[in-house]
Amino acid sequence: PYGAKTDPVEEFAFEEDTADASHGNYTWANSAYAMAVNINKSFKEWGWCSQIQGVEAGGLVDALPVHSFPSMDGGVDMKCPTEIAIPDRREAELATNGFMPLIHRKNTDMAAFIGAQSLQKPAEYDTKEATSNANLSARLPYLFASCRFAHKGEFQHT
């Protein structure tokens, strides 16, 4: 938690009250900001916005603020830094429906965007190849690449 004695904020005086470790006492932020950082990082490093998904392929979000506190049984517990823990099966369901959940890596200060599906629902075709192509076309890394080509073509055309 942020505070003068724990993790000071230099710009202004701020005390995050997490005394009882209840959900409402924490400051939460939208994970879209973390995705934006990963997109910018990918573009800076590779010149493309393609490395934005998966733990080892640009989807990792590290150094998340973690709060450890004594548990009722005398041990130490850690508050999930992504507000809620999403299991793999639920992540797959959310991704299929066009969402990009930020998945916490248990007992760490890291999380990751596993998939990068857009809200576009891919069409299903008669052949596996066509359906696979539609699935790829609905994924953000491929959309970003297509947009780059379209943007480049627009400049050459004018």
Summarised one tens digit per residue, pLDDT across range 30-75 is 999 999 999 999 999 999 999 999 999 999 999 998 888 888 898 8
Q: What is the pLDDT of residues 120-138, one digit of tens each?
A: 999 999 999 999 999 999 9
pLDDT band at residue 157 using 50, 70 and 90 as cut-offs: low
Q: Which of 86, 75, 153, 133 is nearest to 114 (CA)?
A: 86
Strands annotated E in the chain: 60-61, 67-70, 76-79, 102-104, 111-113
| Positive or negative torsion for Cα 15, 32, 67, 20 | positive
CB proximity list for 102: less than 8 A, separation 6 or greater: 31, 34, 35, 61, 82, 111, 112, 113
pTM of the model: 0.82
